[in-house]
């Protein structure tokens, strides 16, 4: 299982060098088989990558190859297939750790961000928080970074405080600093908002929090797939991410945590793999990170995620970001000419996620009619009810782009939007 993916971009750049203009993006797009299909007789325009990303053939083939030639459980068997499966799984951990600039033994593999944040909530926060303590959240969080904290607040008597936003959809940093009071024990913040595209200054935020002894949890779901992420440089305590938004399979993700936290935290889920020894008198838990990985993991999924990391690394995350910024600039320029269209989230440096409403048209009607034009966007509340409540709207449309989209698609999308708006009168 050590073969490199047969299909994928050839290495094009040194880390940090922006040569995105010299990449043949059409060839990159051709690596994604699904993007060739039609929907309702029209070429698919997939603008829903914030929801889940499409997969290059290299990832699909890695998963297929695992099941065809290597399938076995990890760590439990001494036979050849067992060691191949274990090696592949551990190699995925190492690749992901290198990609994020962290140590592999500080990376807990899990099903995704939702699991990762719940792990912190139940293993770190639940045993520590007490009445009088506070958890600091922001208005722009995804439900996955709100509801686990509400559950912990209910059980511990801690309270929740919320940092509000500026009109452009950036965090109100003065308010954030003012709310970092001594009773705040934990701050949970999105790296990039899944609705607004706002990229939060997590490095500065974590530095301020650390100075005040506040533990930080960064939700990296929408950052890792779209920009270079160096967790060590961010300086947080916990960083959660999800594999399916970064070209990897569903049901994969990770929690990075400082080792001292992982060592001090009790296990979250019990079962096989997370133990060294079990007797009815007591159980000795495995070392970290295995202490947090009970049960059979999504082995094939992580083989796919390793292929996704290879793919993105070969492309260069700085190039991915530059490409997506160019697509975003084009989309924003086109939308600025569109009468009666309101964009939610215009903070400088935002990611290629554009939430919008068109005057007189319901978000779901727009998305449904766009689907008939072959355009896949999301409409609704994007798992961010508190954010939409703050904007005073019931739903928005959201177009979210990735490097495999094209400038032609941006133009077709805007033309389709004009067309469906006319249909809606």
Residues belonging to the active site: 383
Task: Report the DSSP pairing between strands 378-380 and 396-400.
Answer: antiparallel
Distances (CA, A) of 285 to 76, 256, 263, 272: 16, 19, 11, 10
Whether residue 388 contacts residue 381, with contact meaning beta carbons closer than 8 Å, is answered with yes
**Least distance (Å) between residue 257 CB and ligand PLP:** 17
Chosen residue from 112, 197, 225, 235 binding ligand PLP by CB under 6 A: 112
3-state secondary structure labels for all residues of 2-47: CCCCCCCCCCCCCCCCCCHHHCCHHHHHCCCHHHHCEECCEECEEC
* 219 belongs to the binding site for ligand PLP (CB under 6 A): yes
Query: In the complex, what is the shortest distance from the CB of residue 198 to ligand PLP, in angstroms, rounded to a whole number?
Result: 11
User: Hey, what are 280's tokens?
Assistant: 């009815």
**Considering only 142-150, 163-171, 180-188, 278-286, which stretch makes contact with ligand PLP by CB under 6 A?**
142-150
Least Å distance, CB 234 to ligand PLP, is: 16
CB of 305 within 8 A of CB of 245? no
Q: Least CB distance from residue 49 to ligand PLP, whole Å? A: 11
What single-letter DSSP state applies at residue 216? E
Q: Of 95, 142, 378, 398, which one interacts with ligand PLP (CB under 6 A)?
A: 142
Considering the complex, state which of residue 217 and residue 274 has its C-beta at the smaller distance from ligand PLP. Answer: 217
Q: What is the 3-state secondary structure (H, E, C) of 332-366?
A: HHHHHCCCCEEEECCCCCCCCEEEEEECCCCHHHH
As a whole number of angstroms, the distance between CA 48 and CA 379 comes to 10
Contact between 355 and ligand PLP per CB under 6 A: no
40 phi/psi in degrees, rounded to 5? 50, 40
Measured between alpha carbons, how far is 253 from 301 in angstroms, rounded to an integer?
9
Q: Which residue number, 361 or 387, has a Cβ lying nearer to ligand PLP?
A: 387
Quick check: 381 binds ligand PLP (CB under 6 A)?
no
**Contact pattern for ligand PLP over residues 310 through 329, marking x by CB under 6 A:** --------------------
Judged by CB under 6 A, does residue 350 bind ligand PLP? no
Q: Does 107 bind ligand PLP (CB under 6 A)?
A: no
Toward ligand PLP, which CB reaches closer, 95 or 244?
244
**Neighbouring C-beta atoms of residue 279, cutoff 10 Å:** 7
Q: Select 222 or 325, whichever has its Cβ closest to ligand PLP.
A: 222
The single residue among 45, 120, 121, 144 that binds ligand PLP, judged by CB under 6 A, is 144
Kind of pairing between the strands at 38-39 and 341-344: unpaired
Beta carbon nearer to ligand PLP, 88 or 145: 145
Contact 187, 218 (CB under 8 A): no
- Considering beta carbons, is residue 113 or 355 the nearer one to ligand PLP? 113
What token pair was written down for 150?
Answer: 């509400």
Q: How far is the CB of 296 from ligand PLP (least distance, A)?
A: 19
Residue 221, interface with ligand PLP (CB under 6 A)?
yes
Q: Is 330 in the site for ligand PLP (CB under 6 A)?
A: no
How far is 20 from 13, CA to CA, in rounded Å? Answer: 9
Q: Which two tokens stand for residue 378?
A: 């999301």
What is the footprint of ligand PLP within residues 165-194 (CB under 6 A)? 190, 194
- Choice from 54, 216, 242, 319 touching ligand PLP (CB under 6 A): 242
Angle at 51 between CA 46 and CA 56, to 5 degrees: 55
Residue 340: burial class (beta carbons within 10 Å; 0-12, 13-18, 19+): exposed
CB of 282 to ligand PLP, least distance (A): 33
Structure tokens at 232: 């060590």
Write out the H or E segment, with its range, that includes residue 381.
none
Q: Which of residues 114 and 406 has its CB atom nearest to ligand PLP in the complex?
A: 114
237 binds ligand PLP (CB under 6 A): no
- 114 makes contact with ligand PLP (CB under 6 A): yes
Among 113, 298, 379, 400, binds ligand PLP (CB under 6 A): 113
Span from 205-213, 217-225, 326-334, 350-358 in contact with ligand PLP (CB under 6 A): 217-225
Q: How many CB atoms lie within 10 A of CB 260?
A: 10
Q: Footprint of ligand PLP on this chain (CB under 6 A)?
A: 112-114, 142, 144-145, 190, 194, 219, 221-222, 242, 244, 383
């Amino acid at each position: 299982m050590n073969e490199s993916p047969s299909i994928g971009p050839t290495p094009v750049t040194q880390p940090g060098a922006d040569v995105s203009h010299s990449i043949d993006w059409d060839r990159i797009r051709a690596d994604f088989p699904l993007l060739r299909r039609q929907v309702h007789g029209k070429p698919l325009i997939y603008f829903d990558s914030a929801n889940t990303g499409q997969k290059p053939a290299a990832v699909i083939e890695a998963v297929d190859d695992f099941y065809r030639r290597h399938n076995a459980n990890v760590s439990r068997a001494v036979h050849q297939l067992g060691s191949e499966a274990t090696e592949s799984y551990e190699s995925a951990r190492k690749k992901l750790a290198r990609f994020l600039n962290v140590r592999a033994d500080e990376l807990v593999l899990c099903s995704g961000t939702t699991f990762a944040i719940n792990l912190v909530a139940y293993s770190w926060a639940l045993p520590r928080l007490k009445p009088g303590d506070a958890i600091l959240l922001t208005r722009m969080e995804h439900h996955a970074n709100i509801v686990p904290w509400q559950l912990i607040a209910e059980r511990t008597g801690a309270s929740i405080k919320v940092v509000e936003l500026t009109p452009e959809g950036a965090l109100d940093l003065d308010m954030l600093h003012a709310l970092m009071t001594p009773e705040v024990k934990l701050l949970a913040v999105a790296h990039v908002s899944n609705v607004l595209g706002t990229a939060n200054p997590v490095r500065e935020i974590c530095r301020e929090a650390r100075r005040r002894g506040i533990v930080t949890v960064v939700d990296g779901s929408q950052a890792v797939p779209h920009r270079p992420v160096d967790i060590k440089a961010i300086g947080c305590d916990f960083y959660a991410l999800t594999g399916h938004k970064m070209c990897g399979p569903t049901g994969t993700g990770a929690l990075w945590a400082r080792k001292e936290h992982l060592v001090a935290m009790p296990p979250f889920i019990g079962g096989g793999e997370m133990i060294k020894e079990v007797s009815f008198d007591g159980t000795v838990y495995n070392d970290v990170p295995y202490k947090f990985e009970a049960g059979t993991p999504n082995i094939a999924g992580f083989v796919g995620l390793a292929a996704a990391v290879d793919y993105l690394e070969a492309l260069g995350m700085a190039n991915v970001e530059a490409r997506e910024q160019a697509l975003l600039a084009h989309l924003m320029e086109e939308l600025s000419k569109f009468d009666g269209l309101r964009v939610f989230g215009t903070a400088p440096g935002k990611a290629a996620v554009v939430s919008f409403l068109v005057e007189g048209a319901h978000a779901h009607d727009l998305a449904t009619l766009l689907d008939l034009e072959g355009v896949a966007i999301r409409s609704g509340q994007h798992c961010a009810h508190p954010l939409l409540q703050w904007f005073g709207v019931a739903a928005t449309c959201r177009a979210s782009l990735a490097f495999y989209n094209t400038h032609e698609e941006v133009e077709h999308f805007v033309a389709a939007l004009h067309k469906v708006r006319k249909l809606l009168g």
